[in-house]
């Protein structure tokens, strides 16, 4: 496991948990981490992490329009 050390000035009103969540949510949003990896980095369960993403303006489902179209077409193949 890698360790990252960041010096945060005392004048910043940030705690460790908030910094981890901000980093994990941004890396998840950019597609650098899966949901599970980001939740682990932030120190939360997947369920809790998904709930907290809204506070950081990050969508849980982050599909491009093309990916969404592909998923819809694929689902139509299996509809009754």
Q: Over the stretch 55-68, which tens digit does the pLDDT of each residue have? A: 999 999 877 788 88
C-beta of residue 73 within 8 angstroms of C-beta of residue 65:
no
Query: How far is Cα 31 from Cα 27, in angstroms, rounded to an integer?
Result: 6
What confidence score (pLDDT) does residue 63 get? 77
pLDDT averaged over every residue in the chain = 91
């Amino acid at each position: 496991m890698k360790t990252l050390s960041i010096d945060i000035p005392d004048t910043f009103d940030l705690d460790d948990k908030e910094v981890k969540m901000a980093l994990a949510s941004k890396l998840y949003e950019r597609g650098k981490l899966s949901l599970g990896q980001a939740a682990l980095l932030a120190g939360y369960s997947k369920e809790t992490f998904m709930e907290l993403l809204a506070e950081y303006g990050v969508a849980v489902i982050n599909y491009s329009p093309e990916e969404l179209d592909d998923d819809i077409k694929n689902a139509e193949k299996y509809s009754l």
